[in-house]
Each structure stands twice: as structure tokens, then as C-alpha cells.
Structure 1
């Protein structure tokens, strides 16, 4: 027979060969002479059966032993054992629910904790206040205006952004008086003057200090303020529509090419801002890391300009020929949807940041009003684009007039968004009152521009509902925002004079 197929030996030691002196604790690796005879009576076969010694067994052989019951003795097996010392079958029984196997343990009583004893560790202030980097050094040396141009940042375009918003707001006032349009035209011209001055200062900065242009568009903080530059252009386009295009009669020979120029400006603006939204966010994703616990509404600024494509469409579409009107409305609706959808996504992080670490630093709380902008401009864009449709507009071509239906939907959507904008306004307003800023920052202009959009949305809703109360409220809000514009402009000029801004370490060209 092939030895590879030979049947294994199934024999075992008989009970007569069992050594009664067998010691289960015997160390085979180091036998002593006293135990040498233990090895002589045991077989060397690997399949030899060895009798397991009877219980109870010492506890030290089972370090993981847990005493499951008060009537049990320590033994070899883990868990409950029977009277013979062997493990008892407890399958199907929950030792934590069956009182037979559960022993009570002393539990420390829950301390009496009142609301004063607990604290929010995320918002708790340290025992020693750290140095505030926003504090101005009272002994900072005086610096000439020329070197200070190095710190003339893109954030300065928040000035023209806000001023252009004021000019558009004045143009849509529901209750007018003689000279109102003249006042609005003055704001429009002043805004053009500011825009030219800011452009000249930026050119001087980039030429006088080589390399600052690349640094400005790649900086993790200053680069975000490229948005206000394009937002300023948006307000110039809408101001031109209100104070130039609408100043001509419908049959004036100059009106035709101006209307065409506005359409061209719209498409160029949409293309540039769409590229900005794509490439700037792509660069920020690849090159910079932003902590969500430091989220600021200024993170919305790269997407803000494309969103105002819908606002521009709402303003200029009604004067465009029918052939070019519908493409402008369609593109404006898409731009508005992109900007508002991204804003909603950002709002989730914004609210999460406020819940986790609280308000931003007191010096930056004015920028919280940026959150008012997306729902406000979306509301006014919906109503404006719906009103720009022809009265006999039939989208499906089925003989049913869709214009009135779309206008009704626009009003409903605008009311929905208007309340959201009001909520963000009140959150920002309370935050600023809770701890007012000590120094001026260009982010203060956020207290003007987004709120201008909120008031324009209020006016559009009042006109659609034909509600005089809403319109008079909008008039009052307009006066308030004009006062705010004067207030911020005064502090802006003062900050330049006393060197609170345009000074090393005091502007948006440093990390915050």
C-alpha cells in the first residue's frame, strides 16, 4: 500500500496509562528533575488524546474572567459555570438583561448641573485675552501717500459698487419729486468719477510696485475682492440704462445704437463674470485652504458678479427689440440661478460657522450684510424679467398666454426671497449692534450695496402688488440707506487721513 494513503493511527492512551501526578502547570521547556518522570509516561505521538483536568480551575489561568453571578466560583471558563465546574450554556440569554448573571456596580450619581454650570467651550473666552491683530498701533509711524499706494487693494471698488447701487435705487423711486432724477444722475456721474480715480490708483500701484498685480489676484484674501470691480461695472451698466437710455425718446436717432450697445455690454459682462466664477474658484480650490470655522460672506464675492447678470437683464430687457430680448432674459435667468444656488450652498457653511464659533470679529461684522444680497437681487430680477415679457408671450405656442402666469410666479417667489433677505439683514444688524467696530474697513460698504438691492426688491414688490404702504416704507428705507452712504463715506475719507487703511498690515492684502 502506498504509504501516502496509509490510514492514520486512531489509537489513544488507555486510562491505565494516565499519570495521576500530571501537572497541568508543568513547563516542558525547562523540566526539573523532580518532574522528569512526568515525561516518561506520556506518548510522543501528535494525535494523542490528553484528559482535561476537572474543575474548578484557578482564576489566574483566566485573566479575562468576569464574575457574572454572586454564587459562582472563579474558574477556567469565562462566564457562568455549573456545579461540575464546566461552562454553562447561556446561548440566547442576554447577561446584561438577565438578573441571574448581572451584578450591580456602584454608579456615581449624576451631578446636579444647572444652566450656569455648563458652558459652550467653542465660544468660551480664554482666561487671558490674546493679542488682537486688528488693533491699531497707537505709535505707528507716519507714512507718505506714495508708499501707501502699495496697499491700495481691490476692496476699494466696494466704494463704486455702493455708489452705483445708490444711483440705481434713486432712479426707481415710486414717489418722485422735481429734481429726483437729477440727484440720481449726480450719483451716477460721481460714481463714474470714483471708478476712474480708483482705476488710476490701481494702475499706479501695479506700475510703481512690480509684482503686486500677480500678488493681488492670487492672494487668499484680496483676490476675493475682484468681485466688487465687476459689480461696479454692473452698476454702471444699470445706471447707464436709467440715466442715458431712458432719457431719449423712443424715436430718437441716438436711442437705437445705445440700446444695441447695452445688449453688447450685457453679453460681454456675462462672459467675463462667468469666466471669473469658474477660474477664480478653481484657483482658490487648488492653491488656498480656508477653514469653515472662519467662513465669511466675502467668500460669495467671486460668484456675486455673475448673479447680477440677471439684475442687468431685468433692467435693460424691456427696451430691447423682441429678437434680442428673449435671449437676454434667458441668459439672465440662468446667471441668476447660478449665483443664487451657489449662495444657498455657501449659506449652509455660513450658518454652521455662526453656530459653532459665533460671530466674526467685531471689525468685520459689517460684511455680514453681504448675505442680504443674493435673495434681494434674485427677487428683483424675477419681477423685472417677468415684467419685461411681452403681454402676449406664449411659451408653449398653445394659445394660452403665459406672461401673466409667469408674473404671478415671480411675485410669489420674490415674496419668498424677500423675507429671507430680511432675516439676514436682521442677523447682521443685531451682530453689528452687539459689538460695533472700532476702526474703519472697506467692508463697511457692504452695509450699503446689498441693502440697496433689498430696497429695490421692496419697491418692485410694492409696484406689483400696488400697495402704497410698501412703497412708502421703501421711501423711508431709501432715506436711511442714503444716510448710511454718507456715514460710510465720511469714515472712509477719515480712515485714509488718519492712516487706518492704506497702511502696512491694515488692509485686505494681509492674512486675517
Structure 2
């Protein structure tokens, strides 16, 4: 049995994938605040605020550990960027921050948390998050082109992580646009909505290209191995979050001054059709992901790791889209289906959270492939000299 790592070693092996903890907790908070049954109840209010503050704690702690890692071990930065898998998780920090903004906005709008200035503080942080998301999406595509060596057989759904940052930021922008319009800031709401629409269209176009290639990879090479099979759920991320963003942003068009040649109703109808198409695609990919995981885990085991947290956010945003479609269509079937998905995501979050506690205590969860590879190279050079 391996011995526990000291704090310095844990920080050295602290990866960007830890930001999926913030993403998963943030989407659970959003699902609780939008749960169809018991809206406005004291129980939902307490759970929403509890998960918001818990996520805020996770965000501060994980960001502090990330900064400490590269301050203490600056050589890991270039090693991380050259790693074809670990570097893809850099965008998780932007997505985690966006889910935290969503939770804060829900607490502010639904439960009058903090004062009016809190809304504009969230709006300012959203601009910062949007710039970071755009830089991450474009920058990581450039890094993948110039620093990595990829092949179709080695491809995984992790390729989607950099571009999903734009879609996640766009949905947060749509929610903020609604809040700004309600506060009487129409021009700010219009600007936010326009930027959000642009981001979601860019993100979806890139994501759909990658999903097409990923489907070809699955058909030609079969399911991923046990170490990456849980990432199969990531496909639900751009589909669920993209559809949710289209619905939320389109609802703000009613308060937007448009030229007579543009019909608000027609644009909203197109956005709804896109959201419904993405939700339908999500159902298919959910079946593919579950069947692939069952097929692989029947033959191989997947030891617990930080990668388990990556399952929560994609399933959560797909549940969020289901909930929003139920609201738009006033459909009891979708309302019940959204509630079932939400409960399942909450149970998944609880399971992974409880599994994480002992793994953090015995430090077995702190394992960075790029740091381990760099350590091996250093030992080899020392032995050779």
C-alpha cells in the first residue's frame, strides 16, 4: 500500500481537472434552484444557498492550489501544455467560474441575496470569464495544432473541453441579460445578449465538428479504454448547454429593439428548434455513452479518480435543458423527466463527493501524468549522468 503524499507533493500533482469539482457542484446548484416541484419553498432556498457557498469554497481552494502549483513548480506549465490530455482541462476553470456566477445570480434573483450592486459585480466577472473562455478556446486549438501529436485512434471526447467554454459563458450571459433587463439596464442587456449569441454559435459550430469526428473514431476504433471511458458523457455538455443557452438568450429578444425586417417570434422559433434538435441528439449520445461505459466496464475496471467528477456537469446541463424545455412547452412529461434527471444528477454528485473524501485523505487522488512524466525524465537524466 502506497504511503500518503506530503502537501508539497499533492500540490505538484494538483491538475486542472480539479476544476470539474466546481463545475459539477455549480450545475447541481442550478438544478436545485430550477427544480420544478416545490418552487419557492424554504427547503430549495436553503439547498441553493448551501450549494452556492460550498461551491464558492471549492472555487477559492482549487484556484489557490492551482496558482500555488505553478508558482512552486513553474516548469510544470510547459509540461502541462505539451501533454495532449491534461492541457485540455485548462478551460474547466472558466466553466467552473461560470457555474459559480449562475449560482450567485439564482440566489440574488430568487432569494434577494445581496444588494443591487451584486448583480453588476457578477456582470463584470462575466466579462472577465468570457474573455478568458474565448482565449482558452482559440489558444488551446492552436496548442493542439502546434504542440501536440494527435491521431484519430487516440481521440477522445476531451477534445470538446476547450470549445465548450464559449457555450457555458454564453448561457451565463443569457441569464445575466434577463436580470439586467429586469433591472432597467436595457442597453447593457442587449449588448450581453448579442455577445452571448455570438459565443454560443461559435462554440456549437466547433463542437459539432468535433462530435462528428468523434463518432467516426468510435465506429472505426471502437469504445475508449477504461481510463477515458467516463469522458463519453462529455458529448452531452455542448448539446445540453448549447440548447439551454439558445432558449435563455432567445427569451430576451422581446425586450430588444430590432429592425422591422427581423421578427422576434421567428427568431425565437428557430432558437427553440435548435434547442430541441440538440436535446434530441443528447438523448442518442446518452444512450451511446451508457452502452459504451457498460461494455468497457464489463471487461475492465475504472478505479476512482478525479475523472469521475467529469461525469456530473455534462449530465447536469442536459438535465437543465430538459427542465427548461418543460418550462417553455409547459409540458408535464418534460417536467417529470427533468425532475428525474435532476435527482439522478444529484445522486451522482453525492456518490462522487463521498468517494472523493477518503481519496483526498489518503492522497491517492492526487496524480498528475505530466508531473510524473517530468519526474521520470529528471531521474533518467540524473542516472545517465
| TM-score class, shorter | 0.7 to 0.9
2:273 corresponds in structure 1 to 412
1:373 corresponds in structure 2 to 237
Quote the Cα distance in structure 2 between the aligned partners of 1:203 and 1:411: 41
TM-score of the pair, normalised by structure 2: 0.88
1:352 corresponds in structure 2 to 216
2:126 corresponds in structure 1 to 266
Shift of 1:270: 1.6
Quote the Cα distance in structure 1 between the aligned partners of 2:239 and 2:161: 14
Instruction: Kindly indicate whether residue 291 of structure 2 is the aligned counterpart of residue 430 of structure 1.
Output: yes
Shift of 1:141: 5.2
CA contact (8 A) 2:22 2:59 kept: yes
Shift of 1:259: 2.9
1:172 corresponds in structure 2 to 34
Alignment deviations for residues 67-112 of structure 1 (CA, whole Å, 9 cap, x no partner): xxxxxxxxxxxxxxxxxxxxxxxxxxxxxxxxxxxxxxxxxxxxxx
CA contact (8 A) 1:219 1:509 kept: no
1:215 corresponds in structure 2 to 79
CA contact (8 A) 1:151 1:504 kept: yes
1:108 corresponds in structure 2 to none
Structure 2 gap segments, 5+ residues each? 375-385
2:66 corresponds in structure 1 to 202
2:176 corresponds in structure 1 to 316
Shift of 1:246: 4.3
Structure showing greater radius of gyration is 1
2:353 corresponds in structure 1 to 489
Q: More relative contact order in 1 or in 2 (CA 8 Å, sep 6+)? A: 2
1:50 corresponds in structure 2 to none
Shift of 1:143: 3.7
Shift of 1:218: 4.0
Matches within 5 A, 1:376-455: 376-390=240-254, 393=256, 395-397=258-260, 402-436=263-297, 437-455=301-319
Shift of 1:186: 0.6
Shift of 1:360: 0.6
CA contact (8 A) 1:159 1:445 kept: yes
Matches within 5 A, 1:67-106: none
Aligned residues: 365
Q: Cα distance 1:182–1:446, how it changes in 2: closer, same or farther (>3 A)?
A: same
Following TM superposition, the consecutive aligned residue runs of length 4 or more in structure 1 with deviations greater than 6 angstroms are none
CA contact (8 A) 2:45 2:111 kept: no
Q: Cα distance 1:210–1:413, how it changes in 2: closer, same or farther (>3 A)?
A: closer
Shift of 1:394: 5.7
Quote the Cα distance in structure 2 between the aligned partners of 1:499 and 1:386: 46
Shift of 1:289: 0.8
1:18 corresponds in structure 2 to none
Q: Cα distance 1:169–1:504, how it changes in 2: closer, same or farther (>3 A)?
A: closer
1:290 corresponds in structure 2 to 150
1:303 corresponds in structure 2 to 163
2:228 corresponds in structure 1 to 364
Quote the Cα distance in structure 2 between the aligned partners of 1:350 and 1:494: 34
CA RMSD, 1 decimal: 2.3
Task: Provide the secondary structure at the position in 2 that maps to 1:302.
Answer: helix
- Alignment counterpart, residue 153 of structure 1, candidates 11, 15, 23: 15
1:125 corresponds in structure 2 to none
1:477 corresponds in structure 2 to 341
Quote the Cα distance in structure 2 between the aligned partners of 1:146 and 1:446: 25
Task: Provide the secondary structure at the position in 2 that maps to 1:301.
Answer: helix
Matches within 5 A, 1:116-135: none
Quote the Cα distance in structure 2 between the aligned partners of 1:264 and 1:208: 30
CA contact (8 A) 2:81 2:143 kept: no
Alignment deviations for residues 408-435 of structure 1 (CA, whole Å, 9 cap, x no partner): 2222221111010111111111112223
Choose between structure 1 and 2: higher helix proportion. 2
Shift of 1:210: 4.1
